[in-house]
Structure 1
Amino acid sequence: MTRKPLMAANWKMHLSIREAVDFIARLHEVVAGSEDREVLIAPPFTHLWAVREAMGAAGFSLAAQNCHWEEKGAFTGEISLPMLKEVGCGYVILGHSERRHIFGEPDEWVGLKTAAAFAHGVTPILCVGEKLEEREAQKTEEVLLRQLETGLAQAPAEQVASLVIAYEPVWAIGTGKTASPEQAQEAHAFIRGWLARRYQKEIAKNIRILYGGSVKPDNVDALMAQPDIDGALVGGASLDVASFGRIVRFQRMGETN
């Protein structure tokens, strides 16, 4: 695999600051020697500074779970990209299925946020994925196409090469169900093919596409063996050091720990 794997922990609304700081220290020990893959932590907003400080020399990357597209304004409860960048965030998760389907964020908002992230030098992790009824109706590609086109409608073509995409089938998030490696690969290949048509083959080749949806220690190896899966966006399993550590230390084909 030429693209450096990105193994991302999305803690959602979990852990205290004390627990988060302790987690980082223990994870650093567990994943020592895994410099050939990037480890990313996306804690709650209130934990960002403490987690950044706890990372120290661990070399982990820091992400926010969401943002607003405006730099400032009367937007109670929101947080801007300059604020996130100031606290050390190099990435921001955008369009996560929980933001889309629980909080009703439309595709257009995701597009505004993605463009704003690029403008402020923060790498967007653009989440896309279909609901169960859409997959059963064989509309997966239709949904992905809409979310990709709208999510990147205002993104500068010259900056898209730094983009990260996360394919997260909604029916596999927090349900214990996981897309088979073959199902995940099929969706990832579709996304990469669209990127090649929309931009350039070389750009598409270098963009990392993560899989998200009940990733666990016992399925990560098979998922990461697929040619177009470049990492994982991990929810529940990222809250346990041993589980997430094993996910980070996934075994490539023919390797043994």
Structure 2
Amino acid sequence: MTRLLIGSSLKMYFGRVRTLEWTRRVAASCRDHPAVRDGLVEPFVIPTFPSIPDVVPIARDAGMLVGAQDVHWEDAGAFTGEVSAAELAEHGVALAEIGHAERRALFGETDETVARKVVATLRHGISPLLCIGESERSDGDAAAETCIEQLESSLALAREENLGGRLVVAYEPVWAIGAPEPADDDHIRAVGRALRTHLADDLAFTGARVIYGGSAGPGLLPRIADSVDGMFLGRFAHDPAAFGRILDEVVDLEATR
């Protein structure tokens, strides 16, 4: 089995105390779990900016990566309220979430700013966790075409500057974010396969991984594991026990291969 990337963005749901409590409980599960111990899963957590310094040592001790929920495209300057990739790297951040649908809808994120943020993260050895997804329901082929266009737009500046590195693509159909259920299995598998095929021979982003998000939680992975490289968990992982159940699913999947 290809090592799966499984983790959660905590968005702004938790304050510092609950963030640390959640991280400690998930870290305890990861530290002792065969899915992590045997290299089947690379877990991650993406807390709020202020919690990153406290989360990093807890997560690192359990083999978890820590991400940031956003990043600015400049390394320094008069950008009130922003955080640079350079500073995130100093804190040990490994992933930076870029282009989430909520950032686009609520804070004016554009294709241009997404592309610039991808360049900034790569420049500092941070892996872009690039969020893409169609806005309206469509068939799998049409959704895949839209997603590939978004992907290439997001990577255009990096390609111009001959930058590459580790890339994580989070396929999150916008219409499924916050919905009671994720997209249907066949749809996820169609888009996941198309994205993986598109990236398979990309020399700049060798080993790029495609993970599914959008109301993802326990029970989904066994149905889509042949077409994705992990899951990007949302509110269904707010209960730390749910994270452990997904790790159990990975072990069960490995046992059937």
**TM-score normalized by structure 2?**
0.88
Query: In the alignment, which residue of structure 2 is the partner of 1:214?
Result: 215
Structure 1 runs of 4+ aligned residues shifted over 3 Å read 136-139, 156-161, 251-256
Q: For residues 47-196 of structure 1, what are the structure 2 equivalents within 5 Å?
A: 47-55=51-59, 57-133=61-137, 135=138, 139-156=142-159, 160-196=164-200
- The 2-side partners of 1:118 and 1:146 are apart by 20
After superposition, the CA RMSD in angstroms is 2.3
- The 2-side partners of 1:11 and 1:242 are apart by 15
Percent identical:
34
Secondary structure, counterpart of 1:124 in structure 2: strand
Offset at residue 68 of structure 1 (A):
0.4
- The 2-side partners of 1:68 and 1:161 are apart by 19
Q: Deviations over 1:87-133 (max 9, x none)?
A: 11011011111112222211111111001111111111111100125
Secondary structure, counterpart of 1:6 in structure 2: strand
- The 2-side partners of 1:223 and 1:161 are apart by 26
Offset at residue 7 of structure 1 (A):
0.4
Stretches of structure 2 that go unaligned for 5 or more consecutive residues are: none
Offset at residue 30 of structure 1 (A):
2.4
**TM-score normalized by structure 1?**
0.88
- The 2-side partners of 1:82 and 1:167 are apart by 26
- The 2-side partners of 1:53 and 1:164 are apart by 23
Code of the residue aligned with 1:65 in structure 2: it is Q
Q: Is the 8 A contact 1:188 1:209 kept in 2?
A: yes
The change in CA–CA distance for 1:178 and 1:42 in structure 2 (over 3 A counts) is same
Q: Is the 8 A contact 1:14 1:44 kept in 2?
A: no
Stretches of structure 1 that go unaligned for 5 or more consecutive residues are: none
**Number of residue equivalences:** 249
Offset at residue 239 of structure 1 (A):
1.6
Q: Is the 8 A contact 1:67 1:92 kept in 2?
A: yes
